[in-house]
């Protein structure tokens, strides 16, 4: 086990810069997810650490050792690919033992290590089967066992759960997390699935255009995104953009394209300047407005927004409301609690929220 340090790493393919002065510190024994859209440099980062690609600039360290010029087979790194890359003519046991045999370990030691790792991944009874006789989840565990059995300093996982169906993928996330906690191996996990990253990770690294936009614990990155890119990439979000007309304590009057509204915010921006605020759909409180209800007039004078429900999407545990607020589309998610539907398409509603839920976004560099 060891920490990983990436310093000013740059990788170009012709005129295309895939990594641009990337800097990253992966603490020893943690599971860190690299999250970002296609082409942001996630897989390239893994391939550079593994030694499958060479950097144009920068340095890579595992522990105190600079590994830029060390051959792939001497880096003591385990890797699991999206395709698993199992040998189809070998049994499960032979697949797992292959790396140890290449290292010239004795037969007794190989047997001891393979049996132990198959037990860890709950495949002790499947050692004599061929890969084609296994389910997708079982094949994934074989690939993981093969990577772990050599006791690597660092484990690299490249979209290794993406080929599984949703139900099995969720189950494997829990199993994978448990296995990695038992082994304590420093792990870098590449994924484009935000929910998967939140479930598995000690830390999340959000990447964009070959650079790190933000690194933090899942809660920190989700609840306190550094900028609009991070907020928009990690989960659903509503953005409010405009010029600040007035600002006082936790209230701003924001002049937007859809009109001027008073917003309850976590941090005010200076009057006269442009600002961007963001709020997650699940943070919104939705209240139906009744035309004859005296409270409707009162609500219209409170902080928040007034809108008309355009669509309602039922997802079992949640209902998602798409609300037109004078031309501005706002999403609100409400937990279903078995009550009869109170709000319907076409209803007028008032949207409110706590000031801490409406986040001021920093300008993206």
Domains in the chain with CATH codes = 4-233 (3.40.50.300), 238-360 (2.40.50.140)
* Whether residue 365 has pLDDT greater than 60: no
Q: For residue 91, what are its two tokens? A: 């049994």
Structure tokens at 268: 């005010």
Cα separation values, 295 from 7, 204, 300, Å? 59, 44, 9
The alpha carbon of 250 is separated from its chain's Cα centroid by a whole number of angstroms, namely 30
State the average pLDDT over residues 28-53: 93
Do the beta carbons of residue 333 and residue 339 sit within 8 Å?
no
- pLDDT tens track for 42-53: 999 999 999 999
The answer, yes or no, to whether residue 221 has pLDDT greater than 90, is yes
Least confident range from 20-34, 117-131, 221-235, 340-354: namely 340-354
The beta strands (E) that lie in 90-185 are given as 154-158
277 class by beta-carbon count within 10 Å (0-12 exposed, 13-18 middle, 19+ buried): buried
Q: What sign does the dihedral 127-128-131-135 (CA atoms) show?
A: negative
Taking only the tens place, the pLDDT of each residue in 91-108 is: 999 999 999 998 899 999
Instruction: Say how far residue 93 (Cα) sits from the centre of its chain.
Output: 33
Report the C-alpha gap between 229 and 194 in whole angstroms.
13
Q: How far is CA 225 from CA 32, 78, 331, 360, in A?
A: 17, 32, 18, 9
> 317, 35, 298: which is closest to 159 by C-alpha?
35
Bridge partner residues of 314 (DSSP):
319
**Are 345 and 311 a contacting pair, CB within 8 Å?**
yes
pLDDT of 300? 45
CB atoms near residue 220 (< 10 Å): 14
pLDDT at 229 over 70: yes
């Amino acid at each position: 086990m060891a920490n990983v340090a990436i310093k000013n790493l740059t990788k170009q393919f012709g005129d295309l810069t895939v990594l641009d002065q990337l800097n990253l510190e992966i603490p020893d024994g943690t599971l860190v997810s690299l999250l970002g859209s296609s082409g942001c440099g996630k897989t390239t980062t893994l391939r550079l650490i593994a030694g499958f690609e060479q950097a144009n600039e920068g340095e890579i360290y595992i522990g105190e050792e600079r590994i830029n010029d060390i051959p792939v087979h001497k880096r003591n790194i385990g890797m699991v690919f999206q395709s698993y890359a199992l040998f189809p003519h070998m049994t499960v046991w032979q697949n797992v033992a292959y790396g140890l045999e290449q290292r010239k370990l004795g037969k007794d030691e190989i047997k001891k290590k393979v049996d132990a790792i198959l037990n860890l991944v709950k495949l002790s009874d499947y050692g004599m089967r061929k890969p084609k006789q296994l389910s997708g989840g079982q094949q994934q565990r074989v690939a993981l066992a093969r990577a772990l059995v050599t006791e690597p300093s660092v484990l690299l996982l490249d979209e290794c759960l993406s080929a599984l169906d949703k139900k099995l993928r969720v189950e494997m996330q829990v199993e994978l997390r448990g296995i990695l906690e038992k082994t304590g191996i420093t792990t870098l996990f590449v994924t484009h699935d935000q929910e998967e990253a939140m479930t598995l990770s000690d830390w999340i690294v959000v990447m964009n255009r070959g650079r790190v936009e933000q690194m933090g614990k899942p809660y920190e990155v989700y609840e306190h995104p550094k900028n609009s890119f991070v907020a928009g990439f990690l989960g659903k979000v509503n953005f409010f953009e405009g010029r600040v007309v007035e600002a006082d304590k936790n209230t701003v009057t924001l002049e937007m394209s859809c009109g001027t509204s008073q917003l309850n915010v976590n941090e005010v921006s200076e009057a006269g300047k442009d600002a961007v605020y963001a709020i997650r759909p699940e943070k919104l409180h939705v209240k139906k407005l009744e035309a004859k209800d005296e409270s409707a007039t009162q609500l219209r004078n409170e902080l928040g927004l007034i809108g008309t429900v355009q669509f309602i999407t039922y997802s079992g545990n949640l209902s998602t409301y798409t609300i037109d607020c004078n031309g501005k589309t706002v999403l609100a998610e409400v937990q279903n609690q078995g009550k009869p539907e109170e709000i319907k398409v076409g209803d007028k509603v008032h949207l409110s929220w706590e000031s801490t839920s409406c986040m001021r976004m920093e300008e993206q560099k």
